[in-house]
Amino acid sequence: MRIEGLKLIHFRNYSQLELELDKNLNLFVGANGQGKTNLLEAISFLASGSSFRTHHESEFVFWGKKSCLVSGIVSKRFGKQTQQVCYESEKRRKIYKNEGVLVERRKYLGQLIPVLFTPEDLTLVKGQPQGRRRFLDEEIAKVSPVYEYELGRYQQIVKQRNFLLKKYREKIIGSQEIESWNEQLVLQAVKILTKRMAALHRISLLARLAHRKLTGSRENLDINYASLPTHQEGSHPEQIRQSLLESLEERKQEEVRWGQTLVGPHRDDILFFINGKNAKMYASQGQQRTLVLALKLAELEYVKGETGEYPVLLFDDVFSELDESRRRFLVETIEGRVQTFITGTEAERLGNFRHAGRIFTVSRGEVL
């Protein structure tokens, strides 16, 4: 998939902007604070109505204005389409359109898929489990938008269950009410777990391959889903269901003590091992960078495998930080295949591609 043209109205520091994009490579160069990241954010807003930077939609709207709009012409193997998202700050609502026709969000999602690499991703390996779960959940949601709703439903159940645990304490144990919440929790947890394990299995194979190439076969990457020991890729859903129920039974006193649901996919983690050593503890800065890059490359292939189209790739600031050999490998992998958007402060450090794309200069909310 490719974005042929992009239009922004009152989005962040852009009053009005229309851009024709290169089908392979688009470099956005400019000093700090000029609007480079805002452009990548506009692409993620166009894709899903959300941003990688904030949950506060009002921030998207140009100061003093009431609404913002991003529209784009997205072309794929079987044709192209204009899609657009508008956010109205007074009504706090988003409006999604395909070819000018209003559509529901769930129908809109999945048409444009971005894969994003920002400096924050470098904390993925050593940061909190939440970030790693989010990484995986976002990947699945990109290719299977209904997953977002399934996950939301699960989180709602956990919240309600926690509320009951806190409110009724000991009295809740063995009550019909908690039993019924346990059933619902487990039912939804199984859906999440099976999707997560299948997706991670696929992603880990792809990442392992990319990682091997990035390290000249010196390092071996393993990725594991860390959950209850009985949960394995390929486990039967009934087996997962049973072990979750058993685990809930075992930990019920503890759950009451903490007023928290302690069993389920919201507590799981993803573990990375480089040559058998846990990367969270032992990976160097450079190794973390390589690992994350391998994951991003795996994402590209994962999306391609699931949807038949490569996503668009957004690099915010990180490209110029990669060393020569990683950059070369990256360029070889994506060039001509994946439409790429790269931001940076100096054009010369970005120019590693054989075929020049477009270089845009970004200055105070204008693109030249």
> Which region holds residue 320: left if phi is over 0, alpha if psi is between -120 and 50, else beta?
alpha
Does residue 211 interact with ligand ATP by CB under 6 A? no
Q: Cα-Cα-Cα-Cα dihedral of 319, 324, 326, 329, to 10°? A: 100
CB of 170 to ligand ATP, least distance (A): 50
CB of 362 to Mg ion, least distance (A): 10
Stretch in the footprint of ligand ATP (CB under 6 A) among 26-34, 156-164, 208-216, 253-261: 26-34
Ordered strands of the 114-117 beta sheet:
114-117, 312-316, 340-344, 25-29, 358-363, 366-367
CB of 15 to ligand ATP, least distance (A): 9
Does residue 44 interact with Mg ion by CB under 5 A? no
**Out of 61, 69, 143, 256, which residue is the one contacting ligand ATP (CB under 6 A)?**
61
The number of C-alpha atoms within 13 Å of 25 and in the hemisphere containing its C-beta is 20
Give the whole-angstrom CA distance, residue 349 versus residue 342.
11
**Out of 26, 34, 37, 71, which residue is the one contacting Mg ion (CB under 5 A)?**
37
Binding to ligand ATP, residues 277-316 (CB under 6 A): none
Strands (E), the chain: 2-11, 14-20, 25-29, 67-76, 79-88, 93-98, 101-103, 114-117, 221-226, 269-274, 277-278, 312-316, 340-344, 358-363, 366-367
CB of 243 to ligand ATP, least distance (A): 46
Query: 142 touches which of Mg ion, ligand ATP, none (CB within 5 to 8 A by kind)?
Result: none
Query: 344 touches which of Mg ion, ligand ATP, none (CB within 5 to 8 A by kind)?
Result: none
**Out of 38, 227, 288, 340, which residue is the one contacting ligand ATP (CB under 6 A)?**
38
> Which pairs from 127-130 meet CB under 8 Å and 24+ separation?
129/267, 129/268, 129/269, 129/270
Judged by CB, which is closer to ligand ATP: 310, or 319?
319
Q: What are phi and psi of 136, to 5 degrees?
A: -70, -45
CB of 348 to ligand ATP, least distance (A): 16
Which residues of this protein are in contact with ligand ATP, per CB under 6 A?
Answer: 12-13, 30, 32-38, 59, 61-63, 345, 362
Which residues of this protein are in contact with Mg ion, per CB under 5 A?
Answer: 36-37
